[in-house]
Amino acid sequence: MAERQEQTAPDAVMTRIGQVVMLHHAGDREEARHRFLDLWAEIGEDGDPLHRCTLAHYMADTHDDPSDELAWDLRALTAAEELTDDRLAEHESTLAVRALYPSLHLNLAADYVKLDRSDAARTHLRRARGAAESLADDSYGDGVRAAISRLELRLGEGGSSGTGGWGPPRQRP
């Protein structure tokens, strides 16, 4: 029974990351960046991969310099590669590690576009599209697939690099 309660107990670090994300979304980008850096110092380069992946993923969005954004997105991908489905299930039982990759590669593709490195952008865009098969048919999955399609159009890929023609989300009458 105690083991079961331990697994369902909230993850304090993920809660703190979520609070900083809300601060960022409320418009205080600089304060969010400072708080993320403080959390990163606590977690450390060798800390829990889920914490590092999540924090780095959101930290990237607080940067104006595309090189800094890329560095944080690469940290997120590196941490995701260390993450196991079992560890992720401790936090969110409906999410699998493979469902993180479409968004992580999409972010890297967008970073490389900003840095005018179109070959690297296309490589990560193809990886995002290939990994998108693991996404559920829900609003999150639809949003990621739509973002992949938009970036493909911007890069002139036109969706030819993967299977299926997603197109924009359907509009309801």
- Closest Cα partner for 69 from 23, 26, 117, 27? 117
Could you give the CA distance from residue 91 to residue 60 in angstroms, rounded to a whole number? 22
Q: Residue 18's Cα: distance from chain center in Å?
A: 14
pLDDT per residue, tens digit, the chain (173 aa), is 344 444 445 689 989 999 999 999 999 999 999 999 999 999 998 999 989 999 999 999 999 999 999 999 999 999 999 887 666 666 554 456 678 899 999 999 999 999 999 999 999 999 999 999 989 899 999 999 999 999 999 998 765 444 445 444 434 34
Neighbours of 91 (CB within 10 A): 16
Helix (H, G, I), strand (E, B) or coil at 28: coil
Q: For tokens 């959101």, what's the residue? A: 58
CA distances (Å), 116 to each of 67, 108, 111, 119, 156, in order? 11, 12, 9, 9, 14
Angle, helix 101-114 to helix 118-131, in steps of 10 degrees: 160
